[in-house]
Structures are given as C-alpha cells and as structure tokens.
Structure 1
Amino acid sequence: MTSSPSSETADLKRRYQWQCRRGASEVEVVLYAYLDRFFEDDTPERRAAFGRLLECHDVDMLDWFTGHGEPEDPELREFVAGMLRRVAETD
C-alpha cells in the first residue's frame, strides 16, 4: 500500500521541521516561515529544492538570506531568491 501524496508531503514536512533547527536564529526564521506558509502547497520541485537547501551550512544560508551572497548552484540560487521574496510578503 502506498501513501497518498498529501500524506507523503506531511511526512516530509515533519522530517524537515527537525532539520530547520539551526544555530543561527535568523536562518531558522526564514526556513520555518517557508515550511509553515508554503511547503505543503508548493510544487514537488520546490519541495525538493528546499530539501537540498537544508543540506547547506548555516553560515552559507545566513549569507544568502541577508543578501551577502548567493548559492553557486543556479537552481538553488533561483529557489532561495523566490523563497525570500515569498517569505517577505505579508498576507
């Protein structure tokens, strides 16, 4: 028996919640904002990009999130830029 896509997404979100715990609270704020507000309704490709982002070092993410650098990988660079725009939007 296979899980439904929504069940798989919910399981993935629970795993990612633990991975969002970081040493830098500034990084946590951005990661949790995306996870809580956009993750479940996002495309599978963006959810996969978020998983790749969680594999990155805190210091790199802090630079990216504060505009002091950007990922070398073009797909990750595009995801981070889009994520930051979306997270910065107010409801």
Structure 2
Amino acid sequence: MTSSPSPETADLKRRYQWQCRRGASEVEVVLYAYLERFFDTDTPQQQAAFGRLLECEDVDMLDWFTGHGQPEDPELREFVAGMLRRVATTS
C-alpha cells in the first residue's frame, strides 16, 4: 500500500506540473515521467533539485537529456543523471 503525499508535496507537485510544460516535447516527456513516477516518494532534497532543474532553459535540458552535455553544477548534474536512469527503467 502506498501512502499519500503530504499536502505540501501535493501543492508543490501541482505547481511543478505547470512548469513541466515546455516548447520541446522531448523535454516534457522526461519531466512528466519523473514527476508522475518518482516525485512523491523522493526526498525533499531531490524535490528541490527538480525545482532547480525546472528553472533551466529547454535547450540546456534537451542537451542533458540526450547525452550531448551535462549541467555545470555538480549537484544538478548528479540529480539529472539519476533522474534519467530512473525514468529509463520500465517498472
């Protein structure tokens, strides 16, 4: 049985859903996959890193998500790498 996210997490997730809307559908697919599958159970630090990721430009995220670059920030680079590994799994 899975537990419901806290009201604060649910509010944050709703806000982030709007921020996941992007001009590049390839970016949207990754962002929404993470948000729907992992956000509720991630740590506050991971949720905050996702919020920081949403502040980035679409073109940068597209490069990162397609393996053509990495974030300069080490913490964001680690989060993106982990997020991509998790989103790529099919469970």
Which amino acid in 2 is paired with 1:13? K
* 1:15 to 2:24 alignment: no
Counterparts of 1:40-55 in structure 2, within 5 Å, are: 40-55=40-55
* 1:65 to 2:65 alignment: yes
Gaps of 5+ in 2: none
Partner of 1:89: 89
When the two structures are aligned, how many residues end up with a matched partner? 87
Runs of at least 4 residues off by over 6 Å: none
Cα distance in structure 2, aligned partners of 1:6 and 1:30: 24
Residue 58 of structure 1 deviates from its aligned partner by 0.1
User: TM-score, length-normalised on structure 1?
Assistant: 0.94
3-state secondary structure, aligned to 1:40: helix
Partner of 1:31: 31
Residue 55 of structure 1 deviates from its aligned partner by 0.1
What percentage of residue pairs aligned between the two structures are identical? Answer: 87
Which deviations, in whole Å up to 9, do the C-alpha atoms of 1:19-41 show, x marking residues without a partner?
A: 00000000000000000000000
Which deviations, in whole Å up to 9, do the C-alpha atoms of 1:57-87 show, x marking residues without a partner?
A: 0000000000000000000000000000000
Cα distance in structure 1, aligned partners of 2:76 and 2:24: 20
Cα distance in structure 2, aligned partners of 1:30 and 1:90: 13
Gaps of 5+ in 1: none
